[in-house]
Structures are given as structure tokens and as C-alpha cells.
Amino acid sequence: MKLYKTLYEDFDQLFLGYSTLGIILSSCLGSASAMVVLMNGHDFTQMFQLFLIVVVAMGYNSAFLAQMKHKFVFNSLILSLATSSILLIINIAMRYI
């Protein structure tokens, strides 16, 4: 919890810069994750994973563009990065292991 509080305080102080970097990072990680998901096929499972990646990444982008509270934007960034990372790791493992 101490790490979360420290990261949030830093994010809050430099909101505009970190949010801009967050959009770039979230979009790039989401697109890489979407590519790996689609490399595994086009079944319902992959389409659901793709839907989840797109919704969460666009949710962060819209939270920032709608100028929501800094804490909500920070939490949506963490959710976006975590979702994309987890699905990326799972699909790489399914494809190559």
C-alpha cells in the first residue's frame, strides 16, 4: 500500500505528463497484447480477450480525456496495464510453450 500511495502522489503532482506517457504505454502494450491474442486464433475466447483489452485500454484513454479525478485515472491506468500484461503473458505462454 505504501508503494501505491507513493506512486499516486507522484502521479498526482505531474498529472499531465504521466497521463500522456500512460496513454502511449497503455496503447502500445494493448496493441502488442491484441496482436498476440489474434496470433492464437479467432475463436470466441480470443475475441473475448481482444474485447477486454480494447475496452480497458480505451477506458483509460477516455478517463483521461474526460478529465476525471486523478485517482480514477491512475487506477484505470493500473487496470489497463495489468490486464494487457496478464493477457499478453498468458497468450505468449499458450503459443510458445
For 68-95, write each residue's pLDDT tens digit.
999 999 999 999 999 999 999 999 999 9
Q: Give the domain ranges of the chain.
A: 2-96
Contact 88, 33 (CB under 8 A): yes
Q: What is the pLDDT of residue 62?
A: 96
Contact 40, 95 (CB under 8 A): yes
Contact 26, 80 (CB under 8 A): yes
Contact 76, 63 (CB under 8 A): yes
For 9-23, write each residue's pLDDT tens digit.
999 999 999 999 999
Collect all residues with Cβ–Cβ distance below 8 Å to 65 and sequence separation of at least 6.
Answer: none
For 56-72, write each residue's pLDDT tens digit.
999 999 999 999 999 99
